[in-house]
Structure 1
C-alpha cells in the first residue's frame, strides 16, 4: 500500500500565505494535504514531477454566476480551465431560490437581463425541482462537478418571494415583509448558503428593461435582512452599488455590519466618467476597517469590458437599421450579405449618415475605445491601436475597418473576428488605477462573473490575467507573484468564510495547481453553442495550467478534462484546519 494518494515532487511552491517560492514536495491523502517539505519520503498512488513548474493553491473565485449552469452542467467552464477549484455563485442579488412557480419566469427575466444568460437556455435547462433555498442546494448537490461550488441567498429572489409584484415594482417593504425576508435569509444560511447578496446599481435590469427589484430597497430592509443573516451566526454579505450618495450608502453598509456582526464585500471599479471616485470608496473601506468592521473591496483583474462580434449580443452596427435587416440570420447568411457590395454600401452609407446626425453615440459606437482582438488578447491596449486610430492611418472609415475586422478575423475570413471594448478600469489608455486597487490592503480579486454575460463578456479568465499579466508581463508595473497568489487563493477564501482552503500546508484541502508559468497565456474568446436550447456563449481557454487537482484528484491536465468530477457543494462556512 502506498504512503500517499498523491505526491507532487520538486515544484516551486508558492503556498498562498504571501511567502516567497521554495522548492518543496507536497503529499496528499484523503483529499487533504498531509505534508509539505523538501525530499519527502514515501510512495504514492499518483506521482507528479513538478520540477521547473510553479505549484500554487487552487484559485477561489468568490464572484461567479453559475446558479443555473450548476444545475444542468457538471463542468463550470470557463472557470475550471483557469485554475479555479472553488467558485461562489449567487452574487449581485440574482438567483433562483427561494421561489414559487408563479415567479419562475420573473427570476429568469432577472437573470437574463442582469447577467446576459439566454432566457431560452434557462427555460430549458432549469428543472425547478426546488422551492426553498435548501432544496435548491440539494438540486445542485445531486450533480457531480469539476470544482467545489458554494451559493449565496439572492435578495432579488427574496423580494419577489415575499412581496410579489410589490417587490418587482420597487415598493417599500413593510416591517412584516422585512421580517419574512430576514427569516428566509437565516434559513438559507442554516441550510448551507455562504451569505446574502444584493444589487443597488442601475446597470442591472431585467430582460424586460425594468430595474432589478432590489435597486431602491430602503436601509431598514437591508439592515433587517442582514440581522437575519447574523441570527444564523454565520454568513457574509455582498453588495454592488452605484454609490450615488457615497456617505449615505456607506452608512447603510456600516449599519448592516454593525447590526449583524457579519463581514461585507463591495464591488470597486474605476469609472472613466468619475475616475477618482474609487479612491473615495477605498478610503471608506479603510475607515471601516479601522473601526473594526470587516469591509472588503472586490476588484477586477483587468478592465470590465465588452466583446463585440457578429455572433455576440453586441456589435458596432447593432443600432444601424440596415444591419437590423440581417441581424437574425444565421452567421453564414449574414456573412454573405455583408460581403455583397450593394448591401455593404448601404450599410456603410447609413453608418456615415448616422454619424453626421450624431445618432447611435453609445459605447458600441466609440471606435476610439474599440480594439481588434488578436489570438493572444491585449487587455491594456494603447489608444494608438484603437480601431479609430488604425482606420485613420489606413485612410478608411472606422465603420469599414470594424466590419473588416469582424469579417476577416485576421485572414481566416470566417466572420468570427472579435472587438474588445474596455470600459470600467480603463482610463486614459491604462489600467494604472487598477494597480492601486489590487495593491490596496483591503481588496481581493473578484468580479469575474463566470457563467454570466455569456454573449458580451468573458471574464472568468481573470485568474490567468492576474498571474500572467500582473505577475509577469505588464510593462507599466507588475505586482509580486506571492502576493497575487495569496490574494486569489487564501484571501478570497477567507473573505467568504472558507478557512479550509487556499493554502498549501498540512490540514488544508488538496486543491492544487501546477503551472507552466513561463508559458501561461490566454487565447482569444470564442463563441460556442453548448447551452441548453442551443444557446451560445463566449468561452476562453488558456495555456500553462499543466495540472489542476480538486481534493487531491486531477481534474484537468494541460487544459483537457481527465473525466474526474470530485467537486462538491460547500455547505456553509468552513473552519481552518486544527493545528497539527
Structure 2
C-alpha cells in the first residue's frame, strides 16, 4: 500500500516532454511508482481526473531570509505551487555576519528582506539554519558575497586589504561547509559595487574550479547590460565555475527590444564554448528594491548613516543632481523608470504613511519640491528604510528570455516588514502559467512547467527535485491550468493565487482543495 496515490491526471513531468496520462504513487516522501496503478491502494487517494500533475514549483530567487520567522509564512508560496525556495540572493543573505558591522548590515537588508529577528543567530550559516522554525516549504540558502564583504570591511569604498580578504575567504569557506548552495553577488548594491573585476575575482577565489554556482545581480541592467554580461563571463571563465545571471532584463525604454537579443546571444555563445551558464527572469515589467538603489555607487559608501549625512549636505545634493542628469557608470533608475514610474511600497515612519503607493513625482507635487529633493528628504526621514516598485522593463524582452533554453522563472520576491510588497511575492508562478502560457502562448504548458521545475533545480544542483520520476522527492502539484488565477495587483498585492487543488511537500498534503492544511513538512536544503 502506498501513502498517497494521485489517480487519473495528466502528468507534466518537468522535463519539457509532452504530457502523458499516468497515476503517481508516493511513499516515504518520495515518488514510488508512475503508470497505470488502477489496481493499487493507498492510505490517501487524490482524484486528478481532468487535472494536471506536475513537480512542485521551485523559485531559486527569493528574499525570504527573515520572512521564514513570521507567522503565516508559506501561504503566498504554497498557493502558487511553490514547494522549494532559495534565499540569500543578490549578495544579501541574512548570514553569515558578526556584531562588528551587524547593525549596518541589518539596516541595509531591511528594505529587501524585512527586519531580521533580533534574536536571530547570524554569525554562521549553520547558526542561522538552527534558528529556523518548522517551515511549510523546502528552503535553501546562498552565501551572499555582499554581506561577506560588509562583515569583513564594512561599507567603505577603499580597496580591501589582505586581512580583509583573509576574513572574507574564511567566512565564505565556512558558509559553503555549512551547506550554502552557492554564492550570490549583488554588484548593483553596496559594498560589492565598489569592487573592480580583478578584486571580485580575488574575493571569490575560494570557489575556483569547483561546481559551486555563482548567481549574479549584475553591475548594470540598463544600457550597460551587455557589458555587464561580458564582465561576468570573464569572471566565470577565470574562476572556472557555473554562472547564473539573476533577473535578466534591459531597463529603460530606449533599451527595450535592443539589448536582450544581444545579451542572449552572448550567453548562448558562451554555452556553446563550454561554459556552464544560465539566467532567470521574473514575469513582471516592474521590479522592487531599496529606494536607495537610485543613487550612484559613490553615494552608498559608509552605510546608511553616511548616506543620510551625505544627502543632507547641500553641496552633495547638487553633485547628486549632476550625477543623475549625467547617468553614466550606473543604472540611473530615476531616468530609466522616470520619477513617475517609481512608487513607494514600504515606509516605516507614521508621518509618511500618506505617501504609500504614491510615485516620487506625486510626492514631489504634494510637497512642492523637485522630485530629487522629495526623494532625498524622504530617504533622510526614513533613514533609507524605503522600498520602491519601479516600472522599467518590457514584456517583449521577458518573452524573449522565457523562450531561451538557458532561462528559468523566478520571482525576486522581497519581503519588507511594512507596506505593500510587489505582487510577485504571491503570483509569479501563476502569472507565468496564466499569462505567458495560457493567454499569450509564449510557451507551451510543458515548457512553462519546465521553467518552474527542472530548469531551476538544475541551475542550483537541487538533487531529487524538479521532475516526476521514481525516487524523486514527492513535491507535487495538482491543478487545472484553466483555473489558475493571479489575484494580487500593485494596489492590492497581498492576495494568494487561486487554482491549486493539491500541493504535496515531502509527500504530505500542504494544500487541499485550494486551502492550506497547516502541514509544515519543509526541510532545509544543504549542499
- On whether the aligned pair clears a TM of 0.5, the verdict is yes
The reply to whether residue 437 of structure 1 matches residue 401 of structure 2 is yes
Aligned to 1:239: 216
Structure 2 CA distance for partners of 1:353 and 1:45, relative to 1, 3 Å: closer
Instruction: Report if the CA contact (8 A) 2:79-2:498 is conserved.
Output: no
Q: In structure 1, what is the equivalent of residue 255 of structure 2?
A: 274
Displacement, 1:107? 1.5
Measure, in 1, the Cα distance between the counterparts of 2:264 and 2:416. 26
Q: Distance in 2 between matches of 1:52 and 1:65?
A: 35
Tell me by how many angstroms 1:265 deviates: 1.0
Given candidates 268, 278, 293, the residue that maps to 2:275 is 293
The answer on whether the counterparts of 2:218 and 2:229 sit within 8 Å (CA) in structure 1 is: no
Among candidates 136, 141, 162, match of residue 152 of structure 2: 162
Q: Show the counterpart of 2:206.
A: 228
Q: CA deviation at 1:328?
A: 4.3
> Offset of 1:45 from its aligned partner?
1.0
Native 8 Å contact 1:282 1:297 kept in 2: no
Shift of 1:361: 8.7
For structure 1, the residue ranges without an aligned partner over 5 or more in a row are 205-211, 308-314, 335-347, 365-419, 529-537, 573-580
Corresponding position of 2:102:
104
* Alpha carbons of structure 1 residues 515 and 246: separation in structure 2 relative to 1, 3 Å: closer
Q: How does 1:84-95 map to 2 (within 5 A)?
A: 84-95=82-93
User: 2: CA distance between counterparts of 1:467 and 1:90?
Assistant: 26
**Structure-1 residue corresponding to 2:165:** 178
- Preserved contact between residue 14 and residue 55 of structure 1 (Cα < 8 Å): yes
Larger radius of gyration: 1
Aligned positions of 1:389-468 closer than 5 A:
423-426=391-394, 431-451=395-415, 455-460=420-425, 461-468=427-434
- Structure 1 distance, partners of 2:435, 2:230, is 36
1:217 Cα offset (Å): 1.2
**1:90/1:421 CA distance change after superposition, 3 Å:** closer
TM-score by length of 1: 0.71
In structure 2, do the counterparts of structure 1 residues 277 and 74 end up closer, same or farther at CA, with 3 Å as the change threshold? same
- Work out the number of aligned pairs and report it: 451
1:255-274 maps to which residues of 2 (within 5 A)?
255-267=234-246, 268-271=248-251, 272-274=253-255
1:255, distance to aligned residue in structure 2 (A): 3.8
Residues 85, 452 of structure 1: alpha-carbon distance in 2 compared, 3 angstrom cutoff: farther
Compute the TM-score of the two structures, normalised by the length of structure 2: 0.77
Distance 2:416 2:444 in 1: 30
CA contact (8 A) 2:96 2:124 kept: yes
Q: What is the alpha-carbon distance in structure 1 between the residues aligned to residue 231 and residue 526 of structure 2?
A: 28
How far the C-alpha of 1:523 sits from its partner, in A, is: 1.3
Q: What is the rounded CA distance, in whole Å, between the counterparts of 1:18 and 1:299 in structure 2?
A: 18
Cα gap change, 1:560/1:196 in structure 2, threshold over 3 Å: closer, same or farther? same
**Residue 144 of structure 1 corresponds to which residue in structure 2?**
134
Shift of 1:539: 2.0
| Deviation of the 1:144 alpha carbon | 1.1
Distance 1:362 1:553 in 2: 53
Match of 1:484 in 2: 448
Aligned to 1:552: 507
Q: 1:54 to 1:319 in 2, by over 3 A?
A: closer
- Structure 1 residue runs of 4 or more that deviate by more than 6 Å after TM superposition: 315-320, 361-364
1:215 aligns to what?
193
CA contact (8 A) 1:77 1:539 kept: no
Q: Which residue of 1 aligns with 2:516?
A: 561
DSSP 3-state at the match of 1:522: coil
Gaps of 5+ in 2: 290-338, 357-361, 376-387
| CA distance in 2: counterparts of 1:112 and 1:440, whole angstroms | 34
Preserved contact between residue 152 and residue 196 of structure 1 (Cα < 8 Å): yes
Q: How far off is 1:567 after superposition?
A: 0.1
| Contact 2:10 2:50 (C-alpha < 8 Å) held by counterparts | yes
What SS class does the counterpart of residue 52 from structure 1 fall into?
coil
How far apart are the structure 1 equivalents of 2:478 and 2:456? Answer: 19
Secondary structure of the equivalent of 2:62? coil
**SS state of the match for residue 542, structure 1?**
coil
Distance 1:241 1:186, change over 3 A: same
Query: Could you report, residue by residue, the CA deviation over 1:143-190 in whole angstroms, capped at 9, with x for unpaired residues?
Result: 1111000001111221122113xxx02221234422432332122111
Is 1:471 the equivalent of 2:437?
yes
1:507 alignment partner, SS class: coil
Aligned partner of 1:303 in structure 2 is 285
Q: Distance in 1 between matches of 2:343 and 2:127?
A: 43
Distance 2:131 2:343 in 1: 41
Instruction: Give the match's secondary structure for 2:204.
Output: helix
* d(CA) in 2 for partners of 1:194, 1:317: 35
